[in-house]
């Protein structure tokens, strides 16, 4: 006998009646979600379940509020008894997604079709506040949002998109440059306060998840370059997000380039983000051009009147150079640029980045390398996706955020 062969699965592994009941619930919910309204007879035919089983499961789904009976009757095309239609209730539960933004927390409630049913932006707690002020602010914002939208169903799960190091498995968060903000149990604490499962994800990783899952055919290997207050990247290889040993994979902005002299917020000199971050580009451009160009790269592009100012052009080039090391290392099918409001609607910067990346990456001028701009809604979409993963698969919303 081959001693390397895997151990056989225990044949006595029992499948309980509650497992079967759950599987039947999942099967009928999935049919109603995929096909729209159906009668009990339709469900029986499509699922292969017996009539008494369908009757029992539907009774349970109606009692639990997953399904409604709008009172419409369908007569079968080929004759037979008319039946009352059943409809999956997309609003039976909502998912919450919270995105950490500059000075603010953006919260959305999404129904089980992925449609945003409520959205609000509130000020973030002060930087010197204790970390629990953040969890309290999230609970307060959710409470206010639900009070303003009483039609939204109960919260089923929540996810937070956060900067810094995130341990997705244990729901813990660390901010490397803040004393005492290491390994904070943000997920477990919120789960205790809200009584629902809570997931956490790095904001750049969320942008990549959102970008990949919006594709008609999601690429298995992809990376995303993110330019905001900091500069980072996220990578997925063969469908798996790369978190790293301590959850801080993707610190592209703290890779050092020769010839730079500015001290980075990490305390070192020469980091990529000292010449490519949103703050640097805004400051440099307004100093050179005079006046305030606005908040985003698209504003700067408009202000310049169709050309890229040198400082921005140089930043796109340096970012592409850094990204080319990433591309040559992991060989992604797609490189996304964006996910932060700063890069939303930018065209010239994205084109410059894409052109330089194709030039620097190997093989040179690779036509097979797709470079795509994504907007900051992709990030929110990624946070929603993480919240959805906390639900049983048959209840997960569509991955695309609808409006
Ligand atoms: Zn740095």
Q: Which range is least confidently modeled, 131-145, 278-292, 339-353?
A: 278-292
In this predicted structure, the answer to whether residue 188 has a pLDDT above a threshold of 60 is yes
7 assigned to some structural domain: no
- Answer yes or no: do 222 and 370 share one domain: yes
Position 85 confidence tier, pLDDT thresholds 50, 70, 90: very high
- Answer yes or no: do 202 and 305 share one domain: no
Nearest Cα neighbor of 392 from 75, 132, 27, 36 is 27
In this predicted structure, the answer to whether residue 103 has a pLDDT above a threshold of 70 is yes
- Helix and strand element counts for the chain (H, E): 12, 16
In this predicted structure, the answer to whether residue 13 has a pLDDT above a threshold of 50 is no
In this predicted structure, the answer to whether residue 185 has a pLDDT above a threshold of 70 is yes
- Quote the ligand 1 centre to 337 CA distance (angstroms): 20
- Quote the ligand 1 centre to 186 CA distance (angstroms): 25
- Quote the ligand 1 centre to 325 CA distance (angstroms): 18
Share of the chain above pLDDT 90, in %: 59
pLDDT in tens, 293-306: 678 999 888 888 77
pLDDT in tens, 154-179: 999 999 999 988 998 899 998 877 77
- Answer yes or no: do 298 and 263 share one domain: yes
- Answer yes or no: do 242 and 370 share one domain: yes
In this predicted structure, the answer to whether residue 359 has a pLDDT above a threshold of 60 is yes
401 assigned to some structural domain: no
227 assigned to some structural domain: yes
Give the whole-angstrom CA distance, residue 201 versus residue 227.
17
- Quote the ligand 1 centre to 267 CA distance (angstroms): 6
pLDDT in tens, 14-46: 556 777 778 888 899 889 988 999 999 999 999
- Answer yes or no: do 265 and 359 share one domain: yes
- Quote the ligand 1 centre to 351 CA distance (angstroms): 26
Give the whole-angstrom CA distance, residue 351 versus residue 348.
5
In this predicted structure, the answer to whether residue 400 has a pLDDT above a threshold of 60 is no
What's the average model confidence in pLDDT over 52-81?
87
- Answer yes or no: do 113 and 179 share one domain: yes
Q: What is the pLDDT of residue 270?
A: 93
What's the average model confidence in pLDDT over 372-393?
92
In this predicted structure, the answer to whether residue 1 has a pLDDT above a threshold of 50 is no
- For 103-149, the three-class secondary structure string (H helix, E strand, C coil) is CEEEEEEECCCCEEEEEEEEECCCCCCCCHHHHHHHHHHHHHHHHHC
- Quote the ligand 1 centre to 270 CA distance (angstroms): 7
- Asked if residues 255 and 231 have their Cβ atoms less than 8 Å apart, the reply is no
- Answer yes or no: do 78 and 98 share one domain: no
Last residue within a domain, chosen from 36, 55, 88: 88
Q: What is the pLDDT of residue 77?
A: 76
154 assigned to some structural domain: yes
Give the whole-angstrom CA distance, residue 108 versus residue 210.
15
8 assigned to some structural domain: no
Last residue within a domain, chosen from 73, 88, 103: 88
Give the whole-angstrom CA distance, residue 230 versus residue 256.
14
Residue 177 sits in a domain whose CATH number is: 3.30.420.40
98 assigned to some structural domain: yes
- Quote the ligand 1 centre to 268 CA distance (angstroms): 6
- Answer yes or no: do 255 and 151 share one domain: no
Q: What is the pLDDT of residue 395?
A: 78
- Answer yes or no: do 365 and 224 share one domain: yes
Cβ partners under 8 Å of residue 108, min gap 6: 96, 97, 116, 118, 119, 380, 384
Instruction: Please state, rounded to an integer, the average pLDDT across all residues of the chain.
Output: 88
- Answer yes or no: do 43 and 179 share one domain: no
Q: Which range is least confidently modeled, 233-247, 296-310, 336-350, 374-388?
A: 296-310
Domain count, the chain: 3
What's the average model confidence in pLDDT over 65-72?
89
- Quote the ligand 1 centre to 263 CA distance (angstroms): 8
- Quote the ligand 1 centre to 223 CA distance (angstroms): 21
- Quote the ligand 1 centre to 199 CA distance (angstroms): 28
Share of the chain above pLDDT 70, in %: 93
Cis, peptide link before residue 163, omega less than 30° from 0: no
- Alpha-carbon distances of 398 from 2, 43, 110, 158, 209, rounded to whole Å: 44, 22, 10, 16, 13
26 assigned to some structural domain: yes
47 assigned to some structural domain: yes
Position 182 confidence tier, pLDDT thresholds 50, 70, 90: confident
Q: What is the pLDDT of residue 14?
A: 54
- Quote the ligand 1 centre to 135 CA distance (angstroms): 28
Last residue within a domain, chosen from 69, 88, 107: 88
By residue range, what is the domain housing residue 128?
A: 94-206+380-395
Q: What is the pLDDT of residue 398?
A: 58
- Quote the ligand 1 centre to 252 CA distance (angstroms): 9
Q: What is the pLDDT of residue 16?
A: 65
- Quote the ligand 1 centre to 90 CA distance (angstroms): 45
- Quote the ligand 1 centre to 331 CA distance (angstroms): 25
What's the average model confidence in pLDDT over 110-139?
91
- Answer yes or no: do 227 and 355 share one domain: yes
- Answer yes or no: do 181 and 289 share one domain: no
Q: What is the pLDDT of residue 394?
A: 76
């Amino acid at each position: 006998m081959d001693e390397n062969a895997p151990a056989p699965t225990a044949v006595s592994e029992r499948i309980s009646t509650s497992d079967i009941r759950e599987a039947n619930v999942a099967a009928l919910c999935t049919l109603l979600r995929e096909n729209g309204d159906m009668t009990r007879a339709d469900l029986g035919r499509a699922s292969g379940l017996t009539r008494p089983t369908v009757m029992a499961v539907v009774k349970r789904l109606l009692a639990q509020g997953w399904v409604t009976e709008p009172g419409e009757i369908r007569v079968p095309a080929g004759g037979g008894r008319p039946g009352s239609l059943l409809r999956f209730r997309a609003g039976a539960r909502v998912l919450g997604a919270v995105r950490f933004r500059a000075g603010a927390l953006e919260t959305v409630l999404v129904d089980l079709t992925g449609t945003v049913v409520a959205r609000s932006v509130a000020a973030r707690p002060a930087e010197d506040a204790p970390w629990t002020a953040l969890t309290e602010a999230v609970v307060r914002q959710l409470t206010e949002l639900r009070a303003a939208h009483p039609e939204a169903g109960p919260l089923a799960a929540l996810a937070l998109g956060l900067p810094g190091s995130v341990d997705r498995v244990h729901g813990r968060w660390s901010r490397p440059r803040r004393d005492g903000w290491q390994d904070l149990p943000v997920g477990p604490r919120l789960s205790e306060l809200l009584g629902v499962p809570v997931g956490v994800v790095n904001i750049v990783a969320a942008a990549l998840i959102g970008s990949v899952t919006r594709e008609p055919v999601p690429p298995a290997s992809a990376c995303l370059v993110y330019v905001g207050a900091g500069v980072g990247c996220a990578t997925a290889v063969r469908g798996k997000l790369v978190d790293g040993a301590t959850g801080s994979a993707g610190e592209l902005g703290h890779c050092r380039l020769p010839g730079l002299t500015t001290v980075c917020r990490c305390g070192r000199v020469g980091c990529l983000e000292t010449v490519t971050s949103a703050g640097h580009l805004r400051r440099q451009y307004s100093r050179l051009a005079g006046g305030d160009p606005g908040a985003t790269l698209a504003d700067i592009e408009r202000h310049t009147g169709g050309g890229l100012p040198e400082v921005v052009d140089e930043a796109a080039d340096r970012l592409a150079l850094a990204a080319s090391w990433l591309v040559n290392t992991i060989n992604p099918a797609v490189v996304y640029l964006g996910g932060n409001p700063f890069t939303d609607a930018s065209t010239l910067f994205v084109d410059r980045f894409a052109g330089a990346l194709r030039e620097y990456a190997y093989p040179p001028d690779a036509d097979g390398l797709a470079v795509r701009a994504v907007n900051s809604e992709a990030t929110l979409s990624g946070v929603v996706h993480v919240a959805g993963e906390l639900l049983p698969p048959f209840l997960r919303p569509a991955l695309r955020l609808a409006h």
